Structure 1
Amino acid sequence: MKLTAIIIGSLFSLSLCAQTTKAQNKQETNKKPKLVVGIVVDQMRYDYLSKYYDKFSDKGFKKLISEGFNCKNTHYNYAPTYTGPGHASVYTGTTPAFNGIVANDWFVRETDKTTYVTDDPTVETVGSNSEKAGKMSPRNLLSSTIGDEMRLYSNMKSKVISVSQKDRAAILPGGHLSNGSYWLDTDTGNFITSTYYENRLPKWVSNFNAQHLAQKYLSKSWKTLLPIDQYTESAADDNPYEGLYKGEDKPVFPHNLPKMYDKNDYGVIRYTPFGNTLTKDLALAALKGENLGKGNYTDFLAISFSSTDYVGHKMGPQSVEVEDTYLRLDRDLGEIISYLENEYGKDGFLLFLTADHAAAYVPSQMMDLKMNAGYFNYKDFSDDLNDHLEKKYDETQLVSSVINGQIYLDHKKLRDKNIDLKSIENYIASFALQFEGIANAYTSFQLNGAILKNKSAQLIQNGFYPKRSGDVALLLEPQWLDDYSHTGTSHGSTYNYDTHVPLLWYGWNIKKGNTAASVQITDIAPTIASFLNIMEPSACTGKPIMAITK
């Protein structure tokens, strides 16, 4: 009897242990952060992290690097590397070949016109009287985002809010099911939205706009945060490779913002670090106004800092202006991180920071240093190409458009003249290789299904969506840019200076460390999905980053 009792007691204890373990496993599975915060810095090169590290504060970038997890070898896996595709790929976990966002603008054969990535004529502006600034939505985005999946998983109880100065940088991260996406109207200095989301601004956004912060930030000159002689990581303040701000004779500090500021156009704030500060202010207001992270389901806040891109385009990556913009952004990040830690605790939120693309050095500077670099004139190339095609095929203007380094042919004229598409594409690709600065050319037949061997070809293929992309894609040589300005910089290529970006993780379930293993930008969304135990976005091609999810 005693033995039987012991056996029964042991079995009962084992059963209790099994039930307890099962309950603990279930509880662990369902344990999630209160809030996910996604931060995208527009045009941030990976090397800025080390270049400016000593001048960062202890609360911003340096904290994310030293206390979070650093994916040191994160690259974009498609081209062209622009703002629209960049934000789409981060949040959909896939490339333009599947999410459809092939560029910021692309040529539409059916209308014979160029369209903007977030244009939507079916909606109206909310928050200002602008006829165009708010006629935007995510209708061109073909796949779901990680925020959409969070909303669907929770039966629409999770909240997703996205903010940025740029409309496309607010709209694409927010996805189709965003509770609110807000961007800057440069006519009024207010943040606005569209009727795709709501018919009136929430009270917290209206109250934010009533502070007129853009006007306040533009009422003072832009001086360097630190004494200017400490900016030893940058070139001389006065150099020939930087552009000029409106009303200035030299590209030097201090920049007289009140003089540059036209009261009918607040767009100048985008070319200063104070545009980022304004975005930070709105992000903090969103956390409070929407009570993010206070419900029963995980919420999402997407923040995109755009001023880094505008300053970078104008001044280039070696400028004091770019360095000062990042030092000030570091302080803004510190304020956001401190708020999150105070409000939710370090283990209450999951934060990642990355960039939508990086940037090239200024080609004119590289040329002066006797490096391979240059400027390619697409307008001259297009005119020359049309002339040659007219002689060969006895038809004028067979090229409808050259945009994003891609050639769009007039398919109607080709059909009318019975011109074989594959033959003319091959002819154009061969013709293009005669031009200085062109490294290679790929036809739509190569890009739509062929197995391409070299890295650049594969990246262009990953960015190719037949219904929106061109018939022939051109690849410029390294450090060659479109010939629109010989000061400042740009981006868009397959080369490392455009594809290598930061990826930092911090907060919930993130252990301190780093990895030099290869990570693709499309791995971010499935990594978040893995943390949250939800489905990855609908067209996701990325994989969870094992170094942090295991």
Structure 2
Amino acid sequence: MIRIVSSLVAFFSIASLCAQNVSEEPPKLVIGITIDQLRGDYLRLFKQTFGEDGFKRLLNEGLVYSDIKYDFPHPDAASAITTVYTGAYPFYHGIVGEKKYAKDTDREISSFFDSKFNGVSTTDQLSPTAIKVPTLTDELQIASGGKSDIVAFAPDASAALASGGHAASGVYWIDDYNGKWVSSSFYKTNQYIVDQHNRSSRSLSLTIGTLMWRPAIDIANYKAFPYTQNVYNFQHYFGKDKTNQFKLFKQSPLVNTEVRQMAEKILNAGTIGKHTYPDFLALTFYAGNYENALDKNYSLEIQDTYYRLDREIAQLLETVEKTVGLDNTLIFVVPTGYYNEEEIYPPDLTLAGGNFYPERTRSLLNMYLMAIYGNVQWIKKYYDGQLFFDRKQLDDKKIDVIDFQRRAAEFMVQFAGVQDVITSHQMLHGAYNQMVHFYRNGYHKGISGDLFVELQPGWQIVTDDQSSNNNQKVRNNAVSAPVVFFGNHIKPQKIYRTIEATEIAPSVAHRLRIRAPNAAQETVLKELF
């Protein structure tokens, strides 16, 4: 009897040890999915239209954190995705936004602009060199001795470059003007599958004229918004506007089909995820609005977007299961923490707030500074909530920059609609509090301005041109959405706490058994140990 009990104990001990060893095996493939503008409230509101194998499967079978925090002002796809993959904020990684103000040329450019590299099948001159620190994918390539396959697909260049990093085997996005999957000459290797697709009859560059976005199901099923009026079927024909057809396409859920299909081509090729070292597939999907119909069918279109995205995720999971296997694959799904919400207000409605005119503000401030320091155009630019001073003039006239910034901030904070003004000196050397720390995270020396202007919620920015900031209404609402880890023996669990965006990279690195990116300062999420 004792011998039998001993044998059983030994058996279960070995079985338990084997189970632990299996669960501790690093994944053969990591699939990083960032969903641009994903909203958690929409996942709840629209779930009655979802199937069982997409969002519901991720949320029911994955490790789910209830919310994510991007602790810096005005995140967008470029700054958010770079933060996820570096484990650091813009203060360290240098991508403060989709675009930036180039002081030397006095113009707005892509944050990833790089004249040293040409585009592949595009006129875009872009590279990841603007990312000042290594990414998660860079660290994987270092650990594997340059052998890992690391491929990134995204609708736009910034998301592809941020997720692919410096050492990828291929980074691709859809060109705004020819519809092809394009890249940068910075990357020395090309995926033949992408070239093959671009030359095929199924390439978006050839099929765009036949594509139309209509509701995928009966619109009677889209009933999440009870206030919706004048409900009718919508349709958007992308062959109509020859100038913007690809840009508009990338604002529709049909772009997610393009991303998923390219991912499946890589997976079905049979090499990625089949090596003795891990590989990485970075994907970005779109869950934002469609700019041409905000005054008509927004409530129906956004529900259709989520319904279609749910199907794309279900199909992708099915392909992963068939090719690499979910046990061999670690999947993480991360929202970008913001939402571009444009609203149509009834013309006779009077609300709190007012109009903020950046150019008028700049002129008034410049007149004030002239009265103190002399008749010079002291302010070069108001851009993205920041004021850029003419540093050369300040240096030439030997004016104390700290005092200059202080005087300008004290004057500006008196303007109607201005909540607070923070100087770059405060962020680097001055008084430190929670708000200064928040703005400091989004600041990068040499790229950001001298003053950061915080406007009161409800105020509308009115510019003299048709820039992306024109008529933008200030909103400080948090955009809540879950983070999901799935596959690779992850146990289903719901964690009701908010995690930092900077915790993801070190946590995935831990599962890969590689070092975290060197600017990542957060510890590993304890549930992933």
Q: Please tell me the TM-score bracket, short chain as reference.
A: 0.7 to 0.9
Partners of 1:206 and 1:452 lie apart in 2 by 52
Partners of 2:471 and 2:324 lie apart in 1 by 38
Structure 1 counterpart of 2:149, from 140, 143, 159: 159
Tell me what 1:244 maps to: none
Q: CA RMSD in A?
A: 3.4
Tell me what 1:47 maps to: 41
Structure 1 counterpart of 2:202, from 204, 212, 234: 212
Tell me what 1:13 maps to: none
Residue 400 of structure 1 aligns to a residue in which SS? strand
Residue 382 of structure 1 aligns to a residue in which SS? helix
Tell me what 2:417 maps to: 437
Residue 497 of structure 2 aligns to a residue in which SS? coil
Deviation at 1:528, TM superposition (A): 0.3
Tell me what 1:247 maps to: none
TM-score (norm 1): 0.84
Code of the residue aligned with 1:315 in structure 2: it is L
Does 1:124 pair with 2:114? no
Tell me what 2:249 maps to: 269
Deviation at 1:373, TM superposition (A): 5.4
CA contact (8 A) 2:238 2:249 kept: no
Tell me what 1:83 maps to: 77
Cα 1:145–1:277, aligned 2, differ >3 Å: closer, same or farther? same
User: Which structure 2 residues correspond to residues 70-219 of structure 1 after superposition, within 5 A?
Assistant: 70-126=64-120, 128=121, 130=122, 132-133=123-124, 135-198=125-188, 201-209=190-198, 210-214=200-204, 215-216=206-207, 218-219=209-210
Residue 130 of structure 2 aligns to a residue in which SS? coil
Deviation at 1:287, TM superposition (A): 2.2
- The answer to which of 205-214 and 252-261 deviates more is 252-261
Code of the residue aligned with 1:466 in structure 2: it is K
Code of the residue aligned with 1:355 in structure 2: it is P
Please give the per-residue CA displacement for 1:404-440, whole angstroms capped at 9, x wherever unaligned.
2111111111122332211221122222223333221
Partners of 1:223 and 1:483 lie apart in 2 by 34
Structure 2: gaps spanning 5 or more residues:
1-9
Please give the per-residue CA displacement for 1:200-257, whole angstroms capped at 9, x wherever unaligned.
x432112212233424355143221222233222376678xxxxxxxxxxx9742241
Residue 327 of structure 2 aligns to a residue in which SS? helix
Tell me what 1:495 maps to: 476
Residue 260 of structure 1 aligns to a residue in which SS? coil
Tell me what 2:285 maps to: 305
The alignment covers a number of residue pairs equal to 515
Tell me what 1:405 maps to: 385
Structure 2 counterpart of 1:57, from 48, 51, 60: 51
CA contact (8 A) 2:356 2:460 kept: yes
- The answer to which of 339-348 and 512-521 deviates more is 339-348
Residue 283 of structure 1 aligns to a residue in which SS? helix
CA contact (8 A) 2:356 2:461 kept: yes
Structure 2 counterpart of 1:286, from 266, 282, 286: 266
Partners of 1:235 and 1:50 lie apart in 2 by 15
Tell me what 1:462 maps to: 441
Partners of 2:471 and 2:262 lie apart in 1 by 28
Deviation at 1:344, TM superposition (A): 2.5
Residue 443 of structure 2 aligns to a residue in which SS? coil
Cα 1:61–1:545, aligned 2, differ >3 Å: closer, same or farther? same
Partners of 1:174 and 1:367 lie apart in 2 by 45
Partners of 2:344 and 2:469 lie apart in 1 by 9
Cα 1:476–1:51, aligned 2, differ >3 Å: closer, same or farther? farther
Does 1:228 pair with 2:209? no
Tell me what 1:243 maps to: none
Cα 1:488–1:112, aligned 2, differ >3 Å: closer, same or farther? closer
CA contact (8 A) 2:461 2:473 kept: no
CA contact (8 A) 1:98 1:465 kept: yes
Partners of 2:475 and 2:431 lie apart in 1 by 17
Partners of 1:509 and 1:137 lie apart in 2 by 36
Code of the residue aligned with 2:311 in structure 1: it is R
Structure 2 counterpart of 1:420, from 388, 395, 400: 400
Deviation at 1:43, TM superposition (A): 1.6
Tell me what 1:7 maps to: none
Code of the residue aligned with 2:79 in structure 1: it is P
Deviation at 1:301, TM superposition (A): 0.6
Partners of 2:431 and 2:89 lie apart in 1 by 17
Tell me what 1:532 maps to: 512
TM-score (norm 2): 0.87
Structure 2 counterpart of 1:324, from 304, 320, 337: 304
Residue 274 of structure 2 aligns to a residue in which SS? coil
CA contact (8 A) 2:248 2:290 kept: no
Cα 1:46–1:488, aligned 2, differ >3 Å: closer, same or farther? farther
Partners of 2:186 and 2:265 lie apart in 1 by 22
Residue 408 of structure 1 aligns to a residue in which SS? strand
Deviation at 1:458, TM superposition (A): 2.4
Does 1:359 pair with 2:339? yes
CA contact (8 A) 1:315 1:322 kept: no
Please give the per-residue CA displacement for 1:57-106, whole angstroms capped at 9, x wherever unaligned.
21111111111122113111112312211110010001001111112222
Deviation at 1:487, TM superposition (A): 12
Cα 1:45–1:365, aligned 2, differ >3 Å: closer, same or farther? farther
